[in-house]
Structure 1
Amino acid sequence: MFRFKQFTIRQDRCPMKVGTDGVLLGAWASTSAADRRVLDIGTGTGLIALMLAQRLPRARIVGVDIDTVEQARENAAASPWGDRLTFRTCAVQTFHDAPFDLIVSNPPFFVDSLTCPDAGRTAARHAVHLTFGELRDAVLRLLTPAGRFALILPVQEAGRFLAVCAGQLQPVRRTDVRTTPRHPAKRSLLELMRPEAAAAVGFERTELIIGTGEHECYTPEYRALTRDFYLKF
């Protein structure tokens, strides 16, 4: 069980547990008061969906996953926002609904590496059931004309995904994440829009360092990003 300031995540029946990637994405994805419909692809425990329910008090959030979503439903029901959260066990390739203002995903990303013995972790971390091309196509089908798609990937896979999206989804924000000042960036937070919408927004690239390098010492930027969620901040 993982406790946040306004909700708790139970995760004993989910292969992928609460991690920094999901928290980063849930806190970093840009939101607008006009957002009314949000989709979380590969919702797992429902963590990112719950973070966005906290940030968007007037939005309805849908989470989809190829694995059972019962634990996500339980976590939502125990939160203050259960009436605005819906979860469906469904491959996003076959998921159909009205368009969404914001789509988020912490997607499978090991494209060419060996799979691991745990089938649940394999599905969550390897692009076995959802290729980058299928993810792009799902976003294009489900995103409103001016909607945003936010995701987090390792730096190398981020480059691959952007290449897959070229000409169809265009980056408007990118934040490369380093664990400490001495380490190279390991993750990229990306926000993309349809090219015609992106042209009016421009492009912003930044960097985020999580820790100073000393034990349990976090940078002011990371604290500011996550302080509405982590109990320790």
Structure 2
Amino acid sequence: MSQPQPPARAMLRKDGFTFKQFFVAHDRCAMKVGTDGVLLGAWAPVAGVRRILDIGCGSGLIALMLAQRTADDVSIDAVELERSAAAQAQENVAASPWAHRIAVHAQDIVSWSEQAEKRYSLIVSNPPFFTPGMASASVERDTARSTATLDHPTLLRCAAQLIEEEGLFCVVLPADAGEKLIALARAEGWHLRYRYDVAPYAQRPPNRLVLGFSPAAGELVQERLAIRDEDKSYSADWLSLVTDFYLFR
């Protein structure tokens, strides 16, 4: 039997991003589908997870990617403060193959962590990373990116309340913000278990860190990824990471 072919570029919708198994509309979200979210969704370790929490889910991108990568009995809660983004995330989830597994909650994570009765084996977040005063032209985008709405100490405390003893808390951040988070997390009793240094090109320094913390001590796994080779083509490592998601490589 012949395999279905991906849609032609001209047929792709303009209000979001088309992946192999799902579509993410993001026209009502301050933060659009981007490399950071795709990195975290494709990389986060999922072996043995039972319950997943996505903090600040935005359009629902990471939750959807993790649903694609996990078994049908894995449940996912996606929490988003901004109501317009939460509504669009819910629409994206409803249109996906995993609507029965993902629940979107329009709520701030502080309130959620105080009320939640579940604990999670995997928590993920593409968190805010700049401090108040570093404003852009968009109030909504500032809200999504600014630590004024969720600073990193608060994020770590909420994750600590919600994570299982052997669970993993994974984030993606710019390199400088990631280094600061490592120091802060260690001071709060977290153990760095995964460090993924991501560079835009093979011969350039990393500009992104994908990090995995756990309440439990253990060996640190450290890797490096270059998204593009020096000729500007995508690297084999990057293509391998996203091959289950991207239509065009």
Coarse TM-score class (shorter-chain normalised)? over 0.9
Are positions 1:203 and 2:220 aligned together?
yes
Q: In 1, are the aligned partners of 2:121 and 2:163 still within 8 Å (CA)?
A: yes
Q: In 1, are the aligned partners of 2:55 and 2:78 still within 8 Å (CA)?
A: yes
Counterpart in the other structure of 1:11: 26
Are positions 1:105 and 2:125 aligned together?
yes
Counterpart in the other structure of 1:77: 94
Q: Which runs of 5+ in 2 are unaligned?
A: 1-15
Q: Distance in 2 between matches of 1:204 and 1:159?
A: 16
Deviates more, 1:107-116 or 1:61-70: 107-116
Are positions 1:226 and 2:239 aligned together?
no
Counterpart in the other structure of 1:121: 141
Aligned amino acid, residue 140 of structure 1: A
Report the Cα offset of residue 111 of structure 1.
2.8
Q: Distance in 2 between matches of 1:223 and 1:165?
A: 31
Are positions 1:214 and 2:235 aligned together?
no
Alignment TM-score, normalising by the size of structure 2: 0.88
Alignment of 1:13-162 (within 5 A): 13-32=28-47, 34-57=48-71, 58-68=73-83, 69-95=86-112, 96-97=115-116, 98-111=118-131, 114-162=134-182
Q: Distance in 2 between matches of 1:205 and 1:36?
A: 24
Q: Distance in 1 between matches of 2:67 and 2:147?
A: 27
Compared with structure 1, are the counterparts of its residues 175 and 223 closer, same or farther at alpha carbon in structure 2 (3 Å cutoff)?
same
**Residues 32-67 of structure 1 deviation map (CA, whole Å, 9 limit, x = unaligned):** 1x3111000010000000000001122111110110
Q: Distance in 1 between matches of 2:122 and 2:131?
A: 25
Report the Cα offset of residue 213 of structure 1.
2.9
Aligned amino acid, residue 51 of structure 2: R
Q: Secondary structure at the match of 1:107?
A: coil
Are positions 1:174 and 2:195 aligned together?
yes
Q: Secondary structure at the match of 1:102?
A: strand
Q: Distance in 2 between matches of 1:110 and 1:59?
A: 33
Deviates more, 1:45-54 or 1:120-129: 120-129
Q: Secondary structure at the match of 1:64?
A: strand
Report the Cα offset of residue 184 of structure 1.
1.5
Counterpart in the other structure of 2:10: none
The structure number with the bigger radius of gyration is 2
Question: Pairwise CA RMSD of aligned residues?
Answer: 1.2
Report the Cα offset of residue 172 of structure 1.
0.5
Q: Distance in 1 between matches of 2:21 and 2:81?
A: 27
Aligned amino acid, residue 46 of structure 1: G
Moved over 2 A (4+): none
Are positions 1:183 and 2:183 aligned together?
no
**Residues 175-231 of structure 1 deviation map (CA, whole Å, 9 limit, x = unaligned):** 11001123221000000001xx22xx300111100001334x111111111101011
